[in-house]
Amino acid sequence: MIEIIPAIDIIDGKCVRLTQGDYSQKTVYNENPLEVAKMFADAGIRRLHLVDLDGAKAQHIVNYKVLESITSKTNLIVDFGGGLKSDDDLRIAFECGAAMVTGGSIAVRNPEIFTSWIAKYGAEKIILGADVKDRKIAIGGWTETTDIELMPFLNQYFQQGITKVICTDISKDGMLEGPAIDLYKDILRSLPDAYLIASGGVSNIGDIEQLEEAGIPAVIFGKAIYEGKISLKELERFV
């Protein structure tokens, strides 16, 4: 069964969502992310994807207190990303209760340090973030699209031991127009053993069902649940 992973994105300590990664298209959904996390936990959800959008902009961890609050006051297994650029950032994230961390831009800009994290912490704790636009890797909170092709990028890190990847199609994110299922099928054809986490575009429970039918192991979604397109009740059968 597909693993359900709701997302909480943080700006100024608040639960927000951006549209296509655009900081000027920000909607605040709750002033208190812990309340949101508790709502997910109470519904039987086990995993949470927590993104420090301030950190992504600042190039270092910022909202670690929010992470600590959620991990200390819920039983959610949290993967944390956004602005993790140094060994110190990782130390803080793990000390504040993150079970896993996600590295995206760092895997492009500083592959040596990202590879060292895989060796130090193990592949079960390090998730590769692959944000894509037209199948090219995008970095810096999606402000910069590179010339790096998605599949060689993924293959390179799977050879280094990575097993988990979050792939976000930026063109889909926050648009509520459905996920990039063909893209995810292509990834799994090339990397059948990958723990692929689909992200972006989920608009209703049918999208999650389609991803499950396609054999995608896990899905991250946020806006659909915050805007009432998916109810916690509908998620019960996946929990």
Contacts of 219 (CB under 8 A, 6+ apart): 2, 3, 4, 5, 179, 197, 198, 199, 202, 208, 211
| Residue of 9, 52, 54, 89 marked catalytic | 9
pLDDT band for position 139 (50/70/90)? Answer: confident
pLDDT for 141 equals 59
The answer on pLDDT for 128 being more than 80 is yes
Active site (annotated) includes residue 182: no
pLDDT for 25 equals 83
| Residue of 52, 54, 89, 131 marked catalytic | 131
User: What is the domain-level CATH number for residue 230?
Assistant: 3.20.20.70
Q: DSSP E strands: which ranges in 84-207? A: 100-103, 126-133, 136-139, 144-149, 164-169, 195-199
Domain that includes residue 198, residue range: 3-238
Domain count, the chain: 1
pTM over 0.75: yes
Taking every pair of Cα atoms in the chain, the longest distance, rounded to a whole number of angstroms, is 44
pLDDT for 157 equals 98
pLDDT band for position 37 (50/70/90)? Answer: very high
Host H or E run for residue 30: strand 22-30
Active site (annotated) includes residue 88: no
